[in-house]
């Protein structure tokens, strides 16, 4: 796919690795020579559905989504479709919960897209200026 889904309004709050990844895929200079374009509905289910249908990457780089209730089920579906869920460093389904409402970033997409994203290192947004979770 050639679509990425993330809240671009927070671009300047993102860590450098995530900015570099987004800039690279938008220019078509990633591992796949295709230019990605943004489509963001601000609904995790809608953005993920489009990602499953058309390909690409859906993401929320903040420590916002709950591992047990949101990240695990969507990552399971992504893997059943041949993709992967990641927290930016690790496969979501490999993470053992330590708290019931444990929150983490969530990146969903093809196996290739997730491995490329993880290769940028610093993609998790740990600073959340202007809002609390």
The domain limits of the chain are: 3-120
Mean pLDDT, residues 2-17:
94
- Tell me the backbone φ, ψ of residue 93, rounded to 5 degrees: -70, -5
| Cα–Cα distance, 112 to 116 (Å, whole number) | 6
Strand, helix or coil for residue 15: coil
Query: Comparing C-alpha atoms, which of 104, 116, 127 is closest to residue 4?
Result: 116
pLDDT-based confidence at 13, cuts 50/70/90? Answer: very high
pLDDT-based confidence at 129, cuts 50/70/90? Answer: low
- Tell me the backbone φ, ψ of residue 29, rounded to 5 degrees: -110, 15
Asked if residues 68 and 97 have their Cβ atoms less than 8 Å apart, the reply is yes
Asked if residues 103 and 74 have their Cβ atoms less than 8 Å apart, the reply is no
| Cα–Cα distance, 74 to 2 (Å, whole number) | 20
- What percentage of residues in the chain have a pLDDT greater than 70? 96
- Checking if the pLDDT of 16 tops 60, the result is yes
Q: Could you report the per-residue pLDDT of 30-71, keeping only the tens digit for each?
A: 998 899 999 999 899 999 999 999 999 999 999 999 999 999
pLDDT at 127 (0 to 100): 76
Mean residue pLDDT of the chain comes to: 94
- Residue 30 token pair: 């990633």
Asked if residues 71 and 92 have their Cβ atoms less than 8 Å apart, the reply is yes
- Checking if the pLDDT of 131 tops 90, the result is no
pLDDT at 126 (0 to 100): 83
| pTM (two decimals) | 0.94
Asked if residues 67 and 102 have their Cβ atoms less than 8 Å apart, the reply is yes
pLDDT at 52 (0 to 100): 95
Q: Could you report the per-residue pLDDT of 67-89, keeping only the tens digit for each?
A: 999 999 999 999 999 999 999 99
**Residue 58 forms beta bridges with which residues?**
5, 108
Q: Domain 3-120 maps to which CATH number in 3.50.40.10, 3.40.50.2300, 1.10.3720.10, 3.40.190.80?
A: 3.40.190.80
pLDDT at 132 (0 to 100): 62
**Residue 83 forms beta bridges with which residues?**
110
């Amino acid at each position: 796919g050639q679509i990425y889904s993330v809240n671009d309004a927070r671009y300047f709050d993102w860590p450098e690795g995530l900015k570099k990844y987004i800039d690279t895929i938008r220019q078509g200079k990633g591992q796949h020579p295709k230019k990605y374009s943004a489509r963001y509905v601000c609904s995790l289910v809608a953005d993920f559905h489009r990602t499953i249908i058309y390909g690409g990457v859906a993401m929320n780089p903040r420590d916002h989504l709950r591992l047990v209730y949101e990240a695990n089920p969507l990552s399971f579906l992504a893997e059943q479709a041949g993709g992967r869920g990641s927290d930016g460093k690790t496969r979501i389904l490999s993470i053992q919960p330590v708290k019931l409402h444990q929150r983490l970033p969530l990146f969903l997409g093809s196996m290739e897209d997730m491995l490329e994203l993880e290769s940028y290192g610093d993609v998790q947004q740990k600073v959340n200026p202007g809002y609390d979770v």
